[in-house]
Amino acid sequence: MSGTAIVRYLLANDASLIAAVPAVKIMAGVIPLNTVLPAISVMQVSGVPRNTVAMASGATVLVTDRVQITVMASTYPSQKSILALVRSALPVSRGTVNGFTVDSILPDSDGPDFFDAGLTIHMQSMDVMVIFTR
């Protein structure tokens, strides 16, 4: 399990979000070329296991992953509204996600607006910090 998998699972199972972006277009990794928009990419930026003596014994480890969620849309208003749905789908929370223990999901930072004129894609990302037990 990874922070990326946890975030992707939560996004792909949020009714409000998948009404705007089908679950099959919420992808871990890079969005393939020629994907019909809107689409969402979920990727790990960094991951840090908590260094403890328990790690050496093979016990479970608390890990902090920074996960970047990038919204790609055909219009700027659509980009912004989908990003708002992403935020709603990832409230500050903790608990069990798809069978894995999540200590916390916390919003971190928003990235800048981007526009690819050649492909007519509006993009913006946001980061979340996911702390979970591996």
pLDDT, tens digit, for every residue of 28-79? 999 999 999 999 999 999 999 887 665 556 678 899 999 999 999 999 999 9
Residues with Cβ < 8 Å from 123, sequence gap 6 or more? 70, 71, 72, 73, 79, 113, 114, 115, 116
Q: Cα–Cα distance between 120 and 41 in angstroms, integer?
A: 17
Domain count, the chain: 1
Q: What is the pLDDT of residue 13?
A: 98
Greater confidence, 59 or 132? 132
Instruction: Give percent of the chain above pLDDT 70.
Output: 94
Q: 104 with 132: CB under 8 angstroms?
A: no
What domain range is 71 assigned to? 3-133
- CATH code of the domain containing 42: 3.30.2000.10
Read off the pLDDT band of 112 (50, 70, 90).
very high
Residue 119: the pLDDT is 87
pTM of the model: 0.92
Q: Which residues contact 96 (CB under 8 A, 6 or more apart)?
A: 102
- Percent of the chain topping pLDDT 90: 84
88: nearest Cα among 69, 74, 102? 69
Rounded-to-5 percentages of helix, strand, coil across the chain: 30, 45, 30
